[in-house]
């Protein structure tokens, strides 16, 4: 990662997780990789609005934090695959909760999504 002129203030958990998974495509990349989409071309097809440069940059940042592992196979042409690390797998409940909340909101924008394990899939009317 590049050195910043003004250091980031990462003295709380929310700041830390936003540093790691904050970014337009990072949660999507973590989710896609967890679903078995490991190749850069697959990730590009699943996120067509993201430029290759941005996807590569966000994959690199996730790799720098130890969330994903990049494996380059010594074949011609080079083959690259990404995999979640143990640390990356520990983020899946967070990513899945975000996905569930977003899906519930898309389905019923006027109703508050509920992410309680006992009430999963139900809504609260405001």
pLDDT, tens digit, 9 for 90 and up, residues 15-43: 889 889 998 999 999 999 999 999 999 99
Identify whether the C-beta of residue 54 lies closer than 8 Å to the C-beta of residue 72. no
Identify whether the C-beta of residue 114 lies closer than 8 Å to the C-beta of residue 104. yes
Q: CA–CA separation, 99 vs 65, rounded Å?
A: 22
H or E stretch covering 82: strand 79-84
pLDDT digits (tens, 9 = 90+) for 78-122: 899 999 999 999 999 999 999 999 999 999 888 888 876 544 444
């Amino acid at each position: 990662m590049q050195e910043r002129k003004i250091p980031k203030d990462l003295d709380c958990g929310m700041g830390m997780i936003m540093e790691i998974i904050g970014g337009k495509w990072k949660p999507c990349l973590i989710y896609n990789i967890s679903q078995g989409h490991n190749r850069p071309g697959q990730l590009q097809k699943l996120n067509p609005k993201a430029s290759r440069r941005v996807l590569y940059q966000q994959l690199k940042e996730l790799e720098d934090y130890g969330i994903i592992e990049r494996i380059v196979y010594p074949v011609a042409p080079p083959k690259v695959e990404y995999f979640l690390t143990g640390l990356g797998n520990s983020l899946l409940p967070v990513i899945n909760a975000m996905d569930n909340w977003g899906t519930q909101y898309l389905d019923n924008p006027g109703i508050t999504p509920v992410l309680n394990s006992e009430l999963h899939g139900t809504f609260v009317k405001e």
